[in-house]
Amino acid sequence: MNDTDKFEITDQWILSTRGKKNSVDPHQPYAWLVEKERTISGQVEDIAAILLTNRECPFHCLMCDLWKNTTDISVPTGAIPEQIKLVLSQLPQVKHLKLYNSGSFFDERAIPSKDYERIASLLKGFETVIVESHPGLINDKCLRFRDMLKHDLHIAIGLETSNPVILRKLNKRTTPDDFRNSISFLTRHGIMSRAFILLKPPFMSESEGIYWAERSLEFAFEAGVECCTIIPVRPGNGAMDLLMGKGYFSPPDIRSLEEVTEYGIQLNSGRVFADVWDLSLFSSCKKCLEKRTGRLTEMNLTQKIVPPVRCTCDPSE
Ligand code: SF4
Ligand SMILES: [Zn+2]
């Protein structure tokens, strides 16, 4: 596909394709979970993730479905600490926490900075806290929050793709250079960062999807991130489904996710994780889905390349 310019992506068009949001409560996170992750030290440890309920992200990225669990208006001051407190009262003992808010932690209209002190004091028992942000919201505010936390703050930033033409099409209103500058700012100030990288965004063939995910891994590590997560792009947000209907998008194959994850691990530049949530969307073979998911999970946890799964669905079989 090389006719991407024929398709004009605007905020208005993306918004017009959306269905309804889910009903959420500003006094409760919309989800929380505990999962295993290989830490920087090489240990596999539990990490909790709290998915905070807050105001919708002001950006309208083409592939994003996080708006589904957000509010239209800002949540009141005090609601975010209240949500965190609610989960902490039920959480088993864990040392690491992801505090994800379907947008940017440093977006004032999502998380009021008046709440930072209270949030920091609630999180004082954790060794690592990871928040997410758009590159355009990385500034001194991150340093102020880090200083309040008094322990490791990591920031996850969506590079999405280092292909500048496709990144523009994604309507994220950022560039690969913005990403590099944000990571460099964080590194200069001693804050570790991780990147989200898309596998096969719209307007790419399967082989282009693999090629650009691999280039994006290299770009993110060269910029200075410590860790990359590869996210296979899925339909389901309205816009992506319409693009799929027009032939501009199809979900990547689970084997492409395996290939890119292997590539990232052998770069030996930092941790590389595959997003293994609901991989059934990326496989049409019931015989090997579980084995391939298990293989990806094992690669996530060991950071080693695990022998490939052989199945009758393989093109060479
Ligand atoms: S910046 Fe992140 S949360 Fe906001 S719309 Fe884009 S992908 Fe979604
Ligand atoms: Zn198979």
Report pLDDT digits (tens) over 40-95: 999 999 999 999 999 999 999 999 999 999 999 999 999 999 999 999 999 999 99
CA distances 253 to 73, 209, 212, Å, are 38, 10, 15
The total number of structural domains that make up the chain: 1
Ligand 2 centroid distance, CA of 263 (Å): 21
Residue 16 falls within a domain, yes or no? no
Cβ atoms 42, 87 nearer than 8 A: no
Ligand 2 centroid distance, CA of 120 (Å): 47
Rounded-to-integer distance, Cα 187 and Cα 173, Å: 23
Ligand 2 centroid distance, CA of 286 (Å): 6
Residue 311 falls within a domain, yes or no? no
Give CA angle at 185 (179, 186), nearest 5°.
Answer: 90
300 contacts: CB under 8 Å, gap ≥ 6: 37, 38, 261, 273, 274, 276
CATH number of the structural domain spanning residue 165? 3.20.20.70
| Residues 136-168: tens digit of each pLDDT | 999 999 999 999 998 899 999 999 999 999 999
Residue nearest to atom 3 of ligand 1 (CA): 103
With the C-alpha atoms ordered 42, 154, 278, 271, is the resulting torsion angle positive or negative?
negative
**Number of the ligand closest to the Cα of 170:** 1
Identify the segments of the chain with pLDDT beneath 50: 1-2
Buried b or exposed e, range 107-139, using 16+ CB within 10 angstroms: beebbbeebbebbbebbeebebbbbbbbbbbbe
Q: Which of 59, 167, 171, 179 to mutate for ligand 1's pocket (most ligand atoms within 8 Å of CB)?
A: 59
Domain of residue 138 covers 23-302
**pTM of the complete model:** 0.96
- The pLDDT of residue 1 is 47
Residues lining ligand 1, Cβ inside 6 A: 57, 59-61, 64, 66, 102-103, 134, 158, 172
Residue 106 falls within a domain, yes or no? yes
| Residue entry with tokens 């004032």 | 108
Residue 273 falls within a domain, yes or no? yes
